[in-house]
Structures are given as C-alpha cells and as structure tokens.
C-alpha cells in the first residue's frame, strides 16, 4: 500500500471522520422516541415495580417471621384488582441509573411505574433535578399522613412531591469475634487497632463509609463542611497508608466476612442478621458515637402510570401492610404506627430494635447530608482515595 | 531404529532409573494435561458440590448438610428459568451468525489483497479493545435513538453479542487460514470444480475444526457476557449473568449453583456423546476396510 | 454462482467482507463515533456541551498514567502465563487426545458456562485464608503464617489468567490441530530428536496460533475491570476500573470516553509494534 497519502485521500478520510463524528449528534437530535410520558391518565390494572433483591416479603420470609396469609403484593391484587409485575433488577444505584438515564433523558419510558433509589447517593437528587420522575398524585395517597416526621422533608425532595420512602437500613460495624477477640465499637478502632491491621474493609459507597467517619470525628454528617469532609478523608487515607484497610467492597462483603477473609467492616444491619445463622461469631453494632441511617425511596419514572403507582403507595402506607413488609424483610419502615401493628402480629419480632427502633435508638442514628452526596468535588476526591 | 553397529543392551542393564525416566517422559504430558483440566474445572466442582448444600441462611458457602431440595426446587427463584433460556437462545443464535460473518471476513483478509486490507485488519481489533462499559452504553444510545427499528430486548442483546463476538471469530479462523495449503484447492479446481464447490468440498471441511473452536469461544463469550448485555437488555429481558449479578448483591441462592451445574453437565454429556459417536464411526470405517 | 466469482474476482473480497463489516459498521462504528463525540464534550451531567475539549485526553492520560501502565503490565503477565500453561495442554489435545479432543476443548470453555461471578466466588472459597489450600501452603512455608493469596496483585493476575485461558488455548488449538503429523514423522526420519522436532517443526507452524491467542488474550485483558474489583485492593486498580467509576459514579462521560480512546490507541500501538516484531504476515497471511 502506498504509504504517502495523496491530498485527495486525506480530504476523503477527513470528511469520513468528520461525518462519523457528526452523525451521532444528528441521531441525538432526531431522537425523542415514541415512548413519551403518559403521566396522568387512567388507573391501569398492572403495576410494574422495580426494586432491589430481598426487599419484599415472600412466602418464605413471611413463614420465617411467623406471618400467615398471602404476600402483600397478592393482597394488593385482591384488594384493588391491580396485578404487580415485581422485578428485582436494581443491583446498585449507579448501575441502574446508567442503564435507564439514556431513555429518560429522551423522554422515553422504561417500562416501569415505580423505581427505587437510596437517599445516600446522588441519584434521588438527579432524578428530580433532571425531571426524570413524575409527581405523585397525593389525592390518591391519603395514607401520606402516616409518613413519619423524620422523613417529611428530605433534601432531594423537600415537599415530598416525587417520592415516598420504601424501607430504611442502618450502617454500622460488623465483625467476626473469633478474629477480633472482642467487640469493635468505633471507626477509630477500625482504623487504629493493631490486631485488625490489614483485616478491615470499608464500603465503596462514600455516604456509608464517610458518614460513619464524620460521626467518629465529631462532625455532623447531616451538614458537611469542606473542612469536615477533608478531616474524614484524611482519616481514611491515613488508615489506608498504614495498611490497616484491606480493600473497599461493594455489597458483597457478607460471605468473605463470615469466611474470615477479613475481621471487621462497615456493614448493614439486615445482612448480618442472615449471616449470623452461618457463623455465630459474627456480630454487628452501631458505633458508640452513632450510626448512619439510609432510606430507599419510591419514584415514578417518566412513562409510568401515576394513578396506579400512587394507589400502590397508598396501600403500603397502611401500617398493617407496612408492618408485614418490615417483618418480612428485616428493614425499617417509615410508616407511623408500624411498631404497634408488628407487636400485634408477632410480639417477639415487633420488639426487635433493629427493625422497629425506639426513639432512643433513633436518636443515635443520622442521615447523610444530601449536598455531600451530590458534590462533584467530594465524589472526585473519594474516588481518588479508592484509586479510581 | 537400530543399525547393525548398535549393540543391543540387555534389559536388566538399562536400569530402573532410566526406565522410570522413560515412563515419565512418555506420560508427563498426559499428566500435565489432566492437572490442567483439574485447574480449569476445580471451581465448577465446588459449584456442583454446593448445589447440594442446605444453607441455614440466604448465603450459600459453608457446607451445612446434603440435600436434593435445591435440585427439586430449581425453578423457585423468581425469573431464573427465563434468564437461562434467554441466555442459551441468544448464545446459539449469536454464535452461529457471528461465526458465519467472522469466517467470511477472515477469508477475505487472508486470501485477497484489496484496498483497505490493513485498515480492515486493524478495525477487527477495535471492538475487543474498547472497554465494555462504554461500548455497551454507546450502543444503548444508538438503540434509544432508533426505537422505530430496535426495541430493547432479545433482538438488541442478539445484535450486541454478534457485534463483539465477530472479532474473536475472525482472529481465531485467521490462525487456521494463515499457512493453509492452497494446493489442495488448486488441485480441485484443476479437476474442474468451481469456487463454490471447491469451498464446499475442500476448504470448508478443512477449516471446520477452526470454525468449531471459534464458535465454542463465541458461545462462551455470549453466555458469560454481563456488562454489554446489562445496558442493552431493556426492561423485559433477563439473561443468566445479569440474573446472577443482581442476586449476588445480597446473596446467591443455591439454585444458581444448580442451574450452572446443569448447564455444565449437559454440555459434558453432549461432548461424551460425541466421543462415543466418533468411536462408532471409526469402528465402522475400520470394519469396512 | 461460482462463475460469478470467477468473472468478478476483484469483487470477491468486498462481498465476503460486506455482511460482517456492515454489522460492525452500524453497530460498532456508529456507537464509537458517538463515544468520540462524548470525549470532546465538557461540563457536568445534564449539561454536556460539545467544545472540542482535547484537554480531556491530556488530563486523563496524566491523571491515570499509573493505572494505564499497570493494566498493560497485568495483561502482559497474564497473557504470558496463559501461553505457558495452555500450550502443553493444547499440544496434548491436538496430538494425543484422539477422539476425546472435543471433550477436552469443552473443558477449556466450561468455566464460562457458570458465569464469571459464580466461578470467582468458588475460587474465593477455595483460596481463602481459612481454607485447606492456604493452610497447606503455610505448612510447607511457601506462605508466611499470616499471609494469604487473595486481595493482592497475585490474585488479580491469577484471576485474569484463569478467566482468559480459553482465549489463548482455543486459537492455539486451531493452529496446532492443522499440523500434519507426517511432518513430525519426517523430522524424526531425518534423525531429529523430539525436542528438535518440536522446536523446528511444531513451534514455527503453531506461530499463527500463538499470535492469535496472544492478541485475543492481551487486548481484552487490558481493559478488564472485574478481576481487579473483586480480587484486588486500591493498589491494583486497572484502567477498566477507572473508566467504570468515571462512567457510573462520577457521571463524567467525557473522561470515561477519552480514557477509552487512550486505551484503544495504546493497544493499537502495541499491536503495530507486535506485528513488526513477529512479522505482519503472521497477522494477515
């Protein structure tokens, strides 16, 4: 092949390359699809609900919790005649967002009426600010009044126009007592105890890990200043440099912890309840200085049916239903009166502080600052700590 | 080979050490091959073992006790059978199409000199150099902008898989075509066969093992793909790797082990059947001579 | 139809290429063009603007040089190990396995049927600190009393090697399988020892397979992220992890896109160097 490009060839290739660059933007311009939002409108007889796995009561979990009768989804069908197609496709907030944001940005529906996102990530704010979600029809949600006070006005949705909490969990410290020799009660201990050197893991999610570190440093996790953030980062970086931290894990820390790959880690309340059945040396506790509480919220994406979704939300905000869901999943509900209902159904389970926390317990738990999780600089700094 | 000059050493003089060494040399390769297979299959053995486990919790990694329950209730987890069926269907279809397309490209590159040959050769390497996450996401953008033609679902997964498998087929088949002895084809054409007949009766049978190897690789790629499928599956379709990934975020039910073991065992059974069939055809041709 | 090819020999290559390249052209090049467009954007999510932002490339390269080179190192080591491990196995399958060869080829790809996550979790159980393998290695003092194999550079490279094994083995098989055993007989007839026969007959004839296997292993391995994510620590992050994080968490699509192009460019450069070293005819015939 002739190595020297003639002028004609150069022009031709340049034009081709330019066309290649221009073509996609033309595509983007003529996009818009035909799946436009059919927001208001009639009640449908099918609800498409996308959720995290293990986040709904099932026959097995109900039996284990001492509940009888059909699942809440089946009860909804019986009561309202609306069948729920329940999907457990949310593996992570960021992964799921990446998957659906393209269609939502073009105004296309994604085939779902309800999706769920965690408030300790940037995504609830993004869903609202980018207008990827629709407003609830509160006229169809009289049970809205049952929403607990603490959840009335989150940073990403101050009027609760777009979302309602689904379930809540707690970040704490999990450890393998056989390997640690005793309880692990603070992040400081995680970071400095020589017995734990190289046997500690942290969660990759910034809000989970840094939230606990902020509390440990005496800072307020609900309102994070730049200095407080830097202090928290420094604590983590120092521990990393000292070889104290083995690695950052996603949600899959359970089996390695139980197997003994590491001795202690940041962990959620729900997971450890299961793991203890496999290895009774596993323990979990909220750090003495305080823990972080996070909440998954229901949203109605573009293209979803607002009346149908709102009807479902109203259904699950009945304390009787909410109690069953909490008992059947092991996570905390945001519905008033849920503890009383739970005690009626199963006195023992109803007094589980981790699923039905008392006000005293709640006083030691804090939410993340929504500004922190959406702050691009904070995110970049956190990523570089993790080597990304 | 002995010559008249060589003396014949009595067997007892050869010595045990030398004989053992001869034995080792002859069989070392076989032993190595078996060890290599153990290395490859060891995790699968663990997977099969734990499909019979009776875990006390959602997590399945400590041996608690033997049970057949998981195999009986294999379909219990929501959506698992659909995911497996979709994976297999996409796998077979995409492999067949990609193998055909890739073989044609390989033939063109190796056997013909044409303008753009070098560029084509390089272009083939681009899809496998592109990180899957941006490739998958960009392909999704294409599909989103062409919803009149492409609805997210089985079809888009199929399209995506063919796209990234083709390159692997091209490179694999090329390895066979380079150094292919063209004299056989020339002889066939001298005897009056045209291009198509020559291909059918001479070329194709000779490159078939390479195409099979490429197809095997392609199928493995398709059935294991996660990232590209994640972005292009849409809201209604699930493949097995996607299913595993999502459930793994909390805990993998033992039924996942059951399904994975079943796929493996069926494949092995088919291969064993193939061995048996080859023995029989070999025997028959021996008997015929 | 045969006479058509006979009368239009010049068209033949283009017709052969057409279906496959059309597929790639539409479903790969167009998305790639879009990726190129993204790589020259600037701004934040929701407000990206096309500004011919070439600084994305220079910044990305400077910031993530370490991960880029680390990826090439890991991929290179894994490819070499895969070649050394698979060659004897594939040789045995091609020359000694007889009717069992298809079964053994299946064994090579079988790990892929159980999905990446399942097989990696199985390895994690086999190799975990409390398990028998590590216990044994500690007993024979290959490992210190407190040492393990997981969550280390060794684990990441071992993971890449294991997971890309078929990509090396199958192309190798393709070229070894076609070697006529009579060539080896002839060599022996000419007084060659088995070693000489191997080095002078088998090895050169398998060169196209070695090249193909090397490329099919190295190139995708360089962009891999999942082995480093599951088996490594922050010291082992590869460029794939960075691109993943930029895309998913930082929502920094321009940087993710430009890093992808930088990776592709580096791979192409490595490819051209490799082609020069082994001779381009091994790549094109």
Interface of A with B (CB under 8 A): 1, 24, 27-28, 30-31, 33-35, 48, 50, 52-54, 86-92, 95, 98-99, 102-103, 106, 108, 110-112, 250-252, 254-255, 258-259, 271, 274-279
DSSP for C69-134 reads: HHHHHHHHHHHHHHHHHHHHHHHHHHHH-GGGHHHHHHHHHGGGGG-HHHHHHHHHHHTSTTSHHH
Mean pLDDT, to the nearest integer, of B30-41? 94
Mean pLDDT, to the nearest integer, of A97-108? 94
Indicate the residue of A99, A102, A277 with minimum beta-carbon distance to B230. Answer: A99
* Chain B residues 151-190 with a CB less than 8 Å from chain A: none
Find the helix or strand (DSSP H, E) in which A167 lies.
strand A163-176
Contact B131/A at CB under 8 A: no
Biggest alpha carbon–alpha carbon distance for chain A? 86
* Chain B residues 190-229 with a CB less than 8 Å from chain A: none
Angle at A220 between CA A215 and CA A224, to 5 degrees: 115
Contact B131/C at CB under 8 A: yes
Whether B90 contacts B155, CB under 8 Å: no
Residue that is written with structure tokens 């050197």 in the block: A197
Tokens representing A136 are: 């609830």
DSSP state of B152: T
Residues of B in contact with A48 (CB under 8 A): 235
Whether A300 contacts A309, CB under 8 Å: yes
Whether A248 contacts A204, CB under 8 Å: yes
* 3 state SS of C278: helix
Cβ C130–A388 below 8 Å, yes or no?
Answer: no
d(Cα B230, Cα C248) in Å, to the nearest integer? 13
Of A115, A126, A100, residue with least CA distance to A35: A100
Contact B33/A at CB under 8 A: no
Terminal-to-terminal C-alpha distance of chain A: 42
Strands A163-176 and A291-301: antiparallel
pTM of the model: 0.89
Backbone angles phi, psi at B66, to 5 degrees: -80, 140
Contact B34/C at CB under 8 A: no
Query: Per-residue pLDDT tens for B134-166?
Result: 999 999 999 999 988 999 999 999 999 999 999
Cβ B209–C205 below 8 Å, yes or no?
Answer: no
Q: Which of A121-130, A345-354, C227-236 has the lowest mean pLDDT?
A: A345-354
β-bridge mates for residue A170, sequence order: A293
Confidence of residue B10 (pLDDT cuts 50, 70, 90): low
Tokens representing C10 are: 């010049």
Whether B158 contacts B96, CB under 8 Å: no
Contact B158/C at CB under 8 A: no
Cβ C216–B226 below 8 Å, yes or no?
Answer: no
pLDDT per position in chain C (285 positions), as tens?
Answer: 556 666 677 788 899 999 999 999 999 999 999 999 999 999 999 899 999 999 999 999 999 999 999 999 999 999 999 999 999 999 999 998 888 888 999 999 999 988 898 999 889 888 888 778 888 888 888 887 777 888 999 999 999 999 999 999 999 999 998 888 888 888 888 888 878 888 888 999 999 999 999 999 999 999 999 999 999 999 999 999 999 999 999 999 999 999 999 999 999 999 999 989 988 777 776
pLDDT at A1: 39
Query: Per-residue pLDDT tens for A258-282?
Result: 888 899 999 988 777 777 777 888 8
d(Cα A363, Cα A215) in Å, to the nearest integer? 13
H-type helices in A265-375, by residue range? 269-275, 306-316, 319-329, 338-345, 347-350, 359-363, 370-374
Cβ A274–B234 below 8 Å, yes or no?
Answer: no
Indicate the residue of A34, A250, A274 with minimum beta-carbon distance to B251. Answer: A274
Q: What is the ipTM of this complex?
A: 0.92
Kindly provide the b/e burial profile for residues B121-151, where b requires at least 16 CB atoms within 10 angstroms of the residue's own CB. Answer: bebbbbbbbbbbbbbbbbbbbbbbbbbeebe
pLDDT at B5: 53
Is the per-residue pLDDT at A5 higher than 60?
no
Query: Per-residue pLDDT tens for B238-248?
Result: 999 999 988 88
Cβ B236–A250 below 8 Å, yes or no?
Answer: no
pLDDT at B253: 86
Of B196, B173, B198, residue with least CA distance to B184: B198
pLDDT at A20: 44
Whether C50 contacts C40, CB under 8 Å: yes
Indicate the residue of B62, B115, B242 with minimum beta-carbon distance to A278. Answer: B62
pLDDT at A35: 38
Cβ C171–B264 below 8 Å, yes or no?
Answer: no
Contact C261/A at CB under 8 A: no
Query: Per-residue pLDDT tens for A55-70?
Result: 999 888 898 888 999 9
H-type helices in chain C, by residue range? 2-7, 12-24, 30-39, 55-63, 65-96, 101-109, 116-126, 132-139, 153-177, 181-189, 194-197, 203-205, 207-222, 226-231, 239-248, 253-278, 281-284
Q: Which residues touch A261 (CB under 8 Å, ≥6 apart)?
A: A246, C124, C128, C129, C148, C150, C151
C148 versus A191: the higher-pLDDT residue is: A191
Is the per-residue pLDDT at B250 higher than 80?
no
Is the per-residue pLDDT at B224 higher than 50?
yes
Query: Per-residue pLDDT tens for A7-50?
Result: 444 444 444 444 444 444 444 443 333 333 444 578 999 999 99
Contact C88/B at CB under 8 A: yes
Strands A200-203 and A245-249: parallel
């Amino acid at each position: 092949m002739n190595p020297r490009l003639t002028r004609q060839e150069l022009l031709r290739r340049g034009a081709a390359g330019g066309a290649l660059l221009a073509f996609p933007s033309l595509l983007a311009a003529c996009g818009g699809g035909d799946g436009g939002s059919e927001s208001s409108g009639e009640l449908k007889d099918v609800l498409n609900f996308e959720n995290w796995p293990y986040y709904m009561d099932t026959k097995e979990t109900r039996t284990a919790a001492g509940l009888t009768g059909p699942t809440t989804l089946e009860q909804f069908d019986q009561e309202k005649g609306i069948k729920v197609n329940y999907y457990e496709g949310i593996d992570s907030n960021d992964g799921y967002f990446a998957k659906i944001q393209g269609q939502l940005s073009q105004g296309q529906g994604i085939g779902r009426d309800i999706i769920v996102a965690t408030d300790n990530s940037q995504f609830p704010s993004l869903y609202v600010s980018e207008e990827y979600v629709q407003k609830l029809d509160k006229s169809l949600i009289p049970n809205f009044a049952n929403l607990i006070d603490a959840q009335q006005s989150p940073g990403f949705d101050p009027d609760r126009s777009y979302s309602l909490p689904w379930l809540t969990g707690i970040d704490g410290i999990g450890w393998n007592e056989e390997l640690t020799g005793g309880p692990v009660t603070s992040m400081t201990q995680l970071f400095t105890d020589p017995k734990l050197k190289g046997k500690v893991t942290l969660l990759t999610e910034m809000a989970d890990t840094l939230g606990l570190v902020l509390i440990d440093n005496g800072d307020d996790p609900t309102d994070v200043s730049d200095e407080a953030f830097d202090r928290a980062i420094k604590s983590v970086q120092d521990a990393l440099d000292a070889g104290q931290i083995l690695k950052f894990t996603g949600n899959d820390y359970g089996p390695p912890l139980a197997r003994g790959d590491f001795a202690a880690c940041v962990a959620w309340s729900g997971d450890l309840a299961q793991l203890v059945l496999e290895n009774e040396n596993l323990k979990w506790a909220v750090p003495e200085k305080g823990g972080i509480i996070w909440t998954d919220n229901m949203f109605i994406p573009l293209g979803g049916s607002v009346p149908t979704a709102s009807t479902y939300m109203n259904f699950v905000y009945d304390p009787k239903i909410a109690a069953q869901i909490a008992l059947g999943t092991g996570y905390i509900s945001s519905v008033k009166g849920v503890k009383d209902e739970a005690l009626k159904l199963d006195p023992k389970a109803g007094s589980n502080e981790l699923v039905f926390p008392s006000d005293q317990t709640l006083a030691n738990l804090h939410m993340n600052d929504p500004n922190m999780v959406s702050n691009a600089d904070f995110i970049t700094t956190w990523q570089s700590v993790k080597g990304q | 080979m002995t010559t008249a000059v060589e003396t014949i050493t009595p067997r007892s003089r050869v010595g045990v050490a030398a004989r053992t060494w001869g034995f080792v040399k002859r069989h070392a390769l076989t032993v190595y091959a078996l060890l290599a297979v153990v290395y490859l299959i060891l995790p699968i053995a663990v997977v099969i073992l734990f499909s019979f486990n009776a875990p006390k919790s959602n997590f399945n990694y400590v041996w608690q006790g033997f049970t057949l329950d998981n195999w009986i209730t294999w379909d219990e987890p929501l959506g698992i059978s659909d995911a497996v069926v979709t994976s297999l269907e996409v796998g077979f279809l995409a492999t067949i199409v990609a193998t055909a397309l890739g073989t044609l490209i390989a033939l063109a590159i190796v056997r013909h000199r044409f303008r753009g040959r070098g560029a084509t050769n390089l272009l083939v390497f681009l899809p496998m150099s592109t990180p899957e996450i941006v490739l998958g996401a960009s392909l999704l953008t294409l599909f989103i902008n062409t919803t009149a033609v492409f609805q997210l679902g089985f079809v888009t997964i199929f399209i995506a898989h063919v796209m990234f498998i083709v390159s692997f087929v091209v490179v694999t088949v090329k390895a066979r075509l380079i150094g292919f002895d063209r004299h056989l084809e020339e002889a066939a054409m001298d005897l009056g066969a045209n291009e198509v007949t020559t291909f059918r009766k001479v070329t194709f049978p000779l490159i078939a093992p390479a195409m099979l190897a490429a197809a095997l690789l392609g199928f493995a790629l398709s059935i294991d793909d996660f990232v590209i499928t994640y972005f292009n599956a849409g809201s209604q379709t699930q493949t097995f790797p996607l299913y595993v990934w999502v459930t793994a975020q909390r805990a993998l039910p033992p039924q996942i082990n059951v399904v994975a073991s079943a796929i493996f065992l069926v494949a092995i059974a088919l291969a064993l059947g193939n061995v048996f069939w080859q023995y029989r055809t070999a025997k028959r041709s021996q008997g015929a001579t | 139809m045969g006479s058509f090819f006979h009368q239009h020999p010049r068209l033949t290559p283009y017709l052969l290429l057409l279906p496959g390249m059309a597929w790639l052209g539409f479903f790969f090049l167009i998305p790639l063009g879009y990726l190129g467009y993204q790589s020259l954007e600037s701004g934040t999510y929701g407000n990206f603007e096309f500004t011919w932002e070439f600084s994305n490339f220079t910044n990305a390269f400077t910031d993530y040089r370490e991960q880029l080179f680390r990826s090439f190192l890991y991929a290179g080591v894994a490819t070499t190990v895969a070649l050394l491990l698979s060659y004897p196995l594939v040789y045995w399958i091609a020359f000694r396995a007889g009717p069992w060869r298809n079964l053994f080829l299946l064994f090579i790809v079988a790990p892929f049927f159980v999905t990446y996550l399942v097989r990696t979790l199985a390895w994690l159980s086999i190799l975990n600190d409390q398990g028998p393998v590590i216990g044994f290695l500690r007993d024979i003092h290959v490992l210190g009393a407190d040492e393990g194999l997981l969550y280390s550079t060794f684990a990441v490279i071992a993971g890449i090697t294991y997971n890309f094994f078929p990509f090396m083995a199958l192309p190798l098989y393709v070229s070894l399988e076609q070697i006529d055993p009579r060539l080896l007989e002839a060599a022996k007839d000419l007084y060659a020892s088995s070693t000489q026969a191997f080095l002078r007959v088998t090895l050169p004839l398998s060169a196209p397979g070695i090249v193909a296997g090397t490329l099919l292993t190295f190139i995708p391995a360089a962009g891999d992220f999942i082995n480093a994510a599951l088996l490594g620590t922050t010291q082992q992050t590869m460029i794939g992890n960075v691109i993943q994080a930029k895309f998913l968490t930082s929502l920094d699509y321009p940087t993710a896109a430009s890093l992808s192009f930088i990776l592709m460019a580096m791979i192409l450069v490595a490819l051209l160097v490799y082609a020069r070293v082994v001779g381009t005819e091994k790549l094109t015939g």
